[in-house]
Each structure stands twice: as C-alpha cells, then as structure tokens.
Amino acid sequence: MYIAASVDPIYHLARDDRSTLCLLFLNPPDKRKRYDDKRFIDEIPANKVCALCSECASLAGDNRSFSERVSYPQIIES
C-alpha cells in the first residue's frame, strides 16, 4: 500500500493506517480534507511523474538509485 498526495510527486510506503515508513503521519480522519492531504492508494500513479521517497526506499531495503525509483506516465499509442 502506498501513500501519496495528488499535488506531490513523491509517494511513500505505508507503515500502518496512520503513518509511512519514514514516519510521516496522515491527518486524522475527522479533520477536514484538503487537496494536498496524503491518502492511501493501491497503485503507483500512472498518470504523472513520481518517485518513491528515498527514506521509505532505504527502510524497505530498496537499493535502487533515485533515478531508478522514478516512474513516468504510460504512453498509450492508438
């Protein structure tokens, strides 16, 4: 499970239902939602350039370089 904000190109790995591996905490569920709030997502966003947080990657044992952790939008040819 991942955690990301739609305006932020960096996504994180979920530690539990309230925080990320790098200890970034989500807003409490009873707070008003804002556009830049981080949310749980099932898949890495395929419609924008984004990258896995360096600290989350390190804590998860992901040894890829930053440029290897960047994902790019899928180009669909018709």
DSSP character string of the chain: -EEE-TT-SEEEEBSSSSBBTT-PBPPPTTSPP-TT--EEESS--SSS-EEE-HHHHHHHT----HHHHEE-PPPPP-
pLDDT digits (tens, 9 = 90+) for 17-31: 888 999 988 877 677
pLDDT tens for the 78 residues of the chain, in order: 899 888 889 999 999 888 899 998 887 767 777 767 888 888 887 888 999 999 999 999 999 999 999 999 877 776
What are the residue boundaries of the structural domains of the chain, listed by start? 2-68
pTM summary value: 0.81
